[in-house]
Amino acid sequence: MRQVTIYDIAKEAEVSISTVSRVLNDTAPVKGSTRAKIEELIQKYNFQPNAMARSLLKQETGIIGVIVPDLTNPFFPEVFAGAEHEAQQSGHTFLLSNSIGDYAKESEYLSIMREKRVDGIMFLGGRINLRHCEEHLVQELVQCASVIPTVLVNGGLRNTDLIRVATDESAGTALAVRHLIELGHTEIGFIGGESNMTTTSIKLRAFRKAMKDAELEVREEWMLPDSFSIDSGKRQMLNLLAMKERPTAVFCVNDYTAIGVIKAGVEAGLSIPDDMSVVGFDDIPLAHHFIPELTTVSQQAHELGRTAVKVLKAMMSNEKVKKLTSLEPQLVVRQSSGAPMR
């Protein structure tokens, strides 16, 4: 059934559409009796003005497009919740797309968002690094950013000047590694993360630097990037377990891989943290419910989402925004990193 339009209301109230519009938006005085009649009809037909017609004219949709790599990883819903929280006040809603790390999909979604004239774009996950196959995505992203306020959340992009909001993952990594070192560990591994992702490369670099700063050797066979899933943690832990020598502690790129590592360790008969210390990254809600509780680096996911939307809103109202808004991560010490080594 066709929905009721402003014309239907106007006709039945025997006024022009302008008058109905005035009642709707309260933009000009309307006679009490006329207003009453119109309001009654609006009520009666449960009339909702067509947002598209309005958007077409106003040149704004009230929609923010969000692209996340994997909503199934609890980190992202947290960010999203933060974003939603901030968007609440301004009445923005979200067009959400899950790219599951598929470059083609990501640029396709981006183009759909441009088509739909979203008011802003939030691109999460930063699975970007200039490699040939991603050329197109990068191009599309830059294209989008030139017409639509766009922020990159936790993901940089070399040779472009897109606005970014990000946790200082480098500092976070240093925090985690230093914590392990302070506990007495000298043999530390690195697990998880697709190597072509910004976040992975940042963490890898920071890891190496922290080790170097402590004058510790980085053992290349213990550097095991993979992906961000629980299974990748398991897989790499199994690899580690098969080695003659293994580290006494591992740094994991996120909590999901940390959970995988612990799980595989426990299945192999290890006790975590007694036989191996594990730290994660993100502080997903589950981190402090897992057994053992995860020592991890909190990204303040909620805040990250909020900030991203704040920046987006500032851009929408043509305010100047910083090229990079950085959030400080925090080390959350719990059980999985264990006690100081004797």
Closer residue to DNA in complex, CB, 14/215: 14
Peptide bond into 292 cis (omega under 30): yes
Look at residues 138, 150, 186, 189 and name the one whose alpha carbon lies nearest to residue 321.
Answer: 150
The CB-of-90 to DNA minimum distance in angstroms stands at 17
The CB-of-205 to a second copy minimum distance in angstroms stands at 29
Closer residue to DNA in complex, CB, 31/205: 31
Look at residues 327, 305, 309, 325 and name the one whose alpha carbon lies nearest to residue 149.
Answer: 309
The tokens describing 13, both together, are 């109230």
Closer residue to DNA in complex, CB, 59/89: 59
Site for a second copy in 243-262 (CB under 8 A): 259-260, 262
CB 65 within 8 Å of CB 118: yes
- Which residues neighbour 334 within 8 Å (Cβ) at sequence distance 6 or greater? 287, 288, 292, 293, 294, 295, 296
The CB-of-85 to a second copy minimum distance in angstroms stands at 9
Work out whether 115 is an interface residue with a second copy (CB under 8 A). Answer: yes
The tokens describing 256, both together, are 């999901």
CB 169 within 8 Å of CB 329: yes
Cα first-last separation, the chain: 75
- Which residues neighbour 282 within 8 Å (Cβ) at sequence distance 6 or greater? 75, 254, 255, 296, 297, 298, 299, 301
Contact partner, 104, from a second copy, DNA, none, Cβ < 5-8 Å per class: none
Residues that bind a second copy (rule: CB under 8 A) add up to a total of: 52
Give the contact letters, 173-212, x = binds to a second copy (CB under 8 A), - = no.
----------------------------------------
Closer residue to DNA in complex, CB, 10/163: 10
Contact partner, 314, from a second copy, DNA, none, Cβ < 5-8 Å per class: none
Q: Which residues bind a second copy (CB under 8 A)?
A: 1-3, 46, 48-53, 55-56, 59, 61, 63, 71-72, 74, 77-78, 80-81, 84, 91, 93-98, 100, 109, 111-112, 114-117, 143, 146-147, 230, 259-260, 262-263, 266, 285-286, 289-291
